[in-house]
Amino acid sequence: MWVGIGALGTVVLGILIYGDSASPLRLASLALVLVGLVGLKLAG
């Protein structure tokens, strides 16, 4: 679970600080990772 949180944080910081692309597909992928993390937390 910590790997997913770190990956989300890294991408968000990249978007906010370094001006990386925030395309709809990229944001949707981040949302899917977040939903997966929440699902794993609720299931376990």
Tens digit of each residue's pLDDT, the chain (44 residues): 788 899 999 999 999 999 999 999 999 999 999 999 999 999 98
DSSP string, 10-42: HHHHHHHHH-----HHHHHHHHHHHHHHHHHHH
pLDDT at 43: 95
**Rounded to an integer, what is the distance from CA 23 to the centroid of its chain?**
13
pLDDT at 2: 85
pLDDT at 7: 92
Q: How far is CA 13 from CA 22, 38, 43, 44, in A?
A: 11, 21, 28, 28
